[in-house]
Structure formats: structure tokens, C-alpha cells
Amino acid sequence: MGPHHPECPDRLAAIQDRLIASGLDAYVAHHDAPAADIDMLARAHSPEYLRQIFDTVPGSGIVHLDADTAMCPNSLRAALRAAGAGVHATDLVMSGAAVNAFCAVRPPGHHAEYARAMGFCFFNNVVVAARHALEKHGLQRVAIVDFDVHHGNGTENIVAHDNRILMVSIFQHPFYPYSGAEPLADNLCNVPLPAGTRGDGFREVVTSKWLPRLDAFAPQMIFISAGFDAHYEDDMASLGLVEADYAWVSTELMKVAKKHASGRIVSMLEGGYALSALGRSAVEHIRALAEL
């Protein structure tokens, strides 16, 4: 993305370093992410948009797709592997080779719309994975849970009216990308939160709004857009979650998954730009998923 950009390689290093320091690294299996192919990406994006992305890769330097989203010569390779991680994780979980999975990927994906890149995102990684579960593995109902501080406008844009998918989300509002307060369809449960909301407000929303919708929907698999930028240390936004809140919501989602989905969860990294808070929060999320 260029020097001093918050969406930087240090984000993944922060998670890996904290995973090792916590001792959890010894209890998780690691997999390299394969590249997603065109057919996988076409489950979430238009053919014209995919051609545009592939044709835009610069031979050198940086080219901007919008004010926030830039490509260097290696961006496409990274984006293909980020999307491919979710597909591979879905295959592992569906086959029983993994109980569940966390995909430490960048670039993130939940702002990428059907035919538009934005907000650091090129491909909508979580929708690519969710639709792979539906179309390759024959599931009938999957849920997408998004607790990034920014509204997952791209995910909403793609899955609105797809009644095989229930999306539940929280996000700071009003805030970038200034959308989501009025859901586009009945399969969306968007809960805007005002700046300054702390963990107790977040937990009340999850308990009163998310969990009843998820329970009634009975998803056969849960996908998580795991953004950790609602942490109080992250100055990209103004919510006030802490590691314990991420651990709590992860445990609650595990309960739903065990009840309806044989425990199947695939979680994909979205935001989180305060490196220490990102590492600590992601590790508590992984700890909860691993039940350690």
C-alpha cells in the first residue's frame, strides 16, 4: 500500500509473534494459503471487475484504485492467496481435517463490493469462502458474522437477498464507509454503534440481536469477518472493546456453531491496526476457537 500505510505486513507479524509468545503456536496447525482461481472469485465478483483487477497490476511502483486502496506488483498475488485461504480453510473444516480455522490474511476483504475495490480490499474473502461452502459442499445455510469497526459494505452489497446467507454485524456509525444503518435486505442484521461504545454495549447487542437471529437461522457453518479495530487502543476508530470482549464473542459463536453447525467456523482477519492490540486480540480469538 506504500510507506506508513496502516494495512501493512507488520500486522501479520504482530499476530504470529503474539501467538508464539502466548504458547498457543504449539497447539495449532499451520497451512499455506493457495491462490484462489477465477471460478472461486466469480462467486463474489463480476467478470468485468475481475478483468479490471487483473489488468491493473503495475509492473513497478504503486497504482491507486481509490484514495485508500493501492496495488503494487505483488498485491494481486497476496489478494489471491487471501481469498484462497478462506476456500482452503472451508475445505479443511468440511472434511474434518480441522475443527475450525482462523485465516491470518491480508489484504482484508469486507469492503470489496461485487464490482468495486475499496477500503484496502480487492476481493471479498469471506463471501468467496461462504459461497464455496454453499456451492461446492452443498450447504444450504451459512452465517457471516462481522465485528470489524467498519461496516462490511462489500459483504452486504454481495449477499443482500441471498437467503442462504445470514449476515450479522456491528460497526461504528456514523463512520467510514457511511453505510449499513438501513440494511439492504431481510437477511442482514446490521447494528450500528455510536462512538464510545464499550464492551458492555457490544455484549448486549450480541446477546439481544445477533444470537436470536443466528439461533433461528440455524446456520450449518459460520464465517467470521474478524476485524480487531474496535479495540480501545486502535485510533483508527472510537469504540472501546478489549481482548476479553473478543474472547467472549468468539465463545458465544462457538456455542452457536456447536448447536447448529457441528462446530464449523472459518474466521478471516479483516481490520486491526494498533499492532499490539491486534496481536493480543487475535490470539484471544484463536484461543477461544481452539477452546484452550
Phi-psi region of 94 (alpha: psi -120 to 50; beta: other; left: phi over 0): alpha
Relative to beta strand 142-146, strand 265-269 is unpaired
Q: Find how far residue 85's CA is from the centre of its chain.
A: 12
SS (H, E, C) 225-292: EECCCCECCCCCCCCEECHHHHHHHHHHHHHHHHHHCCCCEEEEECCCCCHHHHHHHHHHHHHHHHCC
By annotation, the residues acting in catalysis are 111
Edge-to-edge strand ranges of the sheet holding 188-193: 101-103, 265-269, 222-226, 142-146, 165-172, 188-193
- Angle CA 56–61–65, to nearest 5: 40
- Alpha carbon distance 84, 103 (integer Å): 10
Separation in Å, CA 63 to CA 70, 189, 280: 6, 35, 33
Burial of 201 per CB tally in 10 Å (0-12, 13-18, 19+): middle
Q: Is 102 helix (H, G, I), strand (E, B) or coil?
A: strand
Question: What is residue 66's DSSP assignment?
Answer: S
Residue 246: partners with Cβ closer than 8 Å, 6 or more residues away: 147, 228, 281, 284, 285, 288
